[in-house]
Amino acid sequence: MREWLSVFRRGLAVDNPLTVLMIGLCATLAVSTKVEGAFFMGMAVIFVLSMSSAIVSTLRSLIPEQVRIPVFIVIIASFVTIVDLTMKAFLPGVYTFLGVWIPLIVVNCVILGRAEAFAYHQPVRLALADGLGMSLGFSLVIVVLAAIRELFGSGEIVFLGIRLIAFPEWYPAPGILLLFPGAFIVFGFIIALAKWYNGRTSTRLVQTDAHCTIEEGGR
């Protein structure tokens, strides 16, 4: 259980896919203009990543090494299409906003990267911990990024048609936050924050690292 938790926690902080590994940034910067979109993007990634990690790990002894990438892609693409169809059917508003970024989860480095680097070599329960941790870490960062950009860039946060928080009328919303430069600036601050946080807890980091090295060396 301790092992499971330590793998799970890595995705949230010390190995966060966005602030530390810095993969899957393209979709992140593009959809983080609205909390609503970012939240459902995070949900989609949580579903796709934990399911594909679990399946890849379950089948790892049956997948020959030379065709592993095509098999991974088919597995990931299936889950992405399931998300795509479901969202189109039940959340048309969110689907219109996310648009092409939902099908593009197939080529999101976070998901293929975790299948290749972790799930293909680890038992199912750890692969699931990694998938959940990584995708939750992804969702956390993308929602925080979107909350900052939407709140300060447009003066209010609207979630599924409900206004959660709003600045008074006179607030001059700087539109740059909603454009790409704003995404990079805010994301830079988030990386700095994550670095500071991970540095502060570095003693724990060394322990988890040693722990996982033994685990990986055992195979």
Q: Report the interface residues with another protein, using CB under 8 A.
A: 33, 60-67, 70-71, 74-75, 77-78, 81-82, 85-86, 88-90, 92, 96, 99, 153-154, 173, 175, 178-179, 218-219
Sign (positive or negative) of CA dihedral 37, 42, 47, 53 = positive
Residues 6+ apart with CB under 8 A from 64: none
Token couple for 66: 């030379």
CB of 50 to another protein, least distance (A): 16
Which neighbouring-strand residues pair with 162? 159
Instruction: Give the residue with the Cβ less far from another protein, 33 or 139.
Output: 33
CB of 194 to another protein, least distance (A): 25
| Separation of alpha carbons 192 and 16, rounded Å | 13
Q: Hey, is 216 helix, strand or coil? A: helix
Instruction: Give the residue with the Cβ less far from another protein, 20 or 123.
Output: 123
CB of 209 to another protein, least distance (A): 21
CB of 74 to another protein, least distance (A): 5
For the beta carbon of residue 90, count every other beta carbon within 10 angstroms: 9
Instruction: Give the residue with the Cβ less far from another protein, 75 or 111.
Output: 75
